[in-house]
Amino acid sequence: MKKRILGRTNFLVSPVGFGGIPIQRITQSEATELLREAHNHGVNFIDTARGYLSSEELLGNAMSEIGRENFVLATKSMNRTYEGLLEELETSLKNLKTDYIDLYQFHNVKNMEQYKDLIKPHGALDAAKDAKKRGLIKEIGITSHSVDVLKVAVETDEYATIQFPYNAVETQGAEVFKRAKERNIGVIVMKPLAGGAITKGELAIRFILENENVTVVIPGMDSISQVQENVRPGIDGLPLNPSEREELTKEATILGNEFCRRCGYCSPCSVGIEIPTQFILDSYYTRYNLQQWAIDRYNAQSIKASDCIQCGQCEPRCPYNLPIMKMLERVASHY
């Protein structure tokens, strides 16, 4: 693969990276074989997180066999406190069997309230900066499902990268990607298959890589066949032809009838449900085959989909006219 520069990090990364969520479903030997196959095809960017259960440990063991020096390694923390973030960083370093993280990201900053908490004095951002001074991390990034959060983040000089969902269904990040590139901030695309909803994987990745403002896309992979399919767009660099574009657009249009783009306009819920979160969790249950992982996180919420009182306040706010109440009821039925 022809490498791309990841914004101001100056890391040379493969346009198709390795998303670390689904690897937790397989054994260590399978994980090592999978990463080796990806490496053999030129993949050198790995994205994982503390929240992905055994993912860090599996990848750490695999890298120790293949060679840590062959990868640009990114992981993430959802902790927003100074001490908590440093504690999670130490755990990540141990799990990943390394003494430094190339890109350390603040994971899923949901809204401006969380963002303000992140940047307050002696908060998580200060912890990351101190870790960078100590050489434990090389660069700092931020991930979110909120365009509004990233619009603020890209105007600062704090983050070398942003990470956001982008695919044939969810294109609301396009403008913030453009601004990120203008400010020399690397753009990492998550959810390239819309949480598994898009079935035409190779076409979906080619669609994303057509966007000149995207640096790297990180599809999750848990089989050799998935690796082989996902790396092709990064190797051949072919744009979609008209018939392929029509095929992908047709699937995206069908999904669009009941697909949450996580824009957050439905909030606030009258009873306090974090509505987009319910649909994110449910995608792991229904599409990623991570039922127990999703169940644990769903049940850990103090207010969840099953608490919907059908007041209907959310639906008029949705710019995509989604039947949110019906969708929440369907989510609740899975748990």
Residue 262 is assigned to a structural domain of this protein: no
pTM summary value? 0.85
Residue 10 is assigned to a structural domain of this protein: yes
- The whole-number pLDDT of residue 267 equals 83
For residues 191 and 298, state if they share a domain: no
Residue 266 is assigned to a structural domain of this protein: no
For residues 284 and 176, state if they share a domain: no
Residue 254 is assigned to a structural domain of this protein: no
Residue 257 is assigned to a structural domain of this protein: no
For residues 63 and 179, state if they share a domain: yes
CA distances from 289 to 165, 223, 281, 323 (A): 19, 13, 11, 25
Residue 97 is assigned to a structural domain of this protein: yes
For residues 34 and 89, state if they share a domain: yes
Domain that holds residue 211: 4-247
For residues 223 and 295, state if they share a domain: no
Walking along the chain (335 residues) 10 residues at a time, the average pLDDT comes out as 95 97 92 98 97 94 98 97 97 98 95 94 97 98 94 97 94 96 98 84 95 97 94 93 94 79 82 92 84 92 96 88 94 93
- The whole-number pLDDT of residue 197 equals 79
Q: From 247, 264, 291, give the residue that closes a domain.
A: 247
- The whole-number pLDDT of residue 195 equals 75
Which pairing describes strands 161-165 and 45-47: parallel, antiparallel, or unpaired? unpaired
For residues 38 and 86, state if they share a domain: yes
Q: List the CATH number of the domain containing 12.
A: 3.20.20.100
For residues 195 and 298, state if they share a domain: no
For residues 81 and 191, state if they share a domain: yes
Alpha helices in 263-323 (DSSP H): 275-286, 291-299
- Compute the distance between CA of residue 121 and CA of residue 131 in angstroms, rounded to an integer: 15
- The whole-number pLDDT of residue 289 equals 78
For residues 233 and 325, state if they share a domain: no
- Compute the distance between CA of residue 198 and CA of residue 176 in angstroms, rounded to an integer: 23
Q: Which of 297, 19, 262 is nearest to 145 (CA)?
A: 262
Domain count, the chain: 2
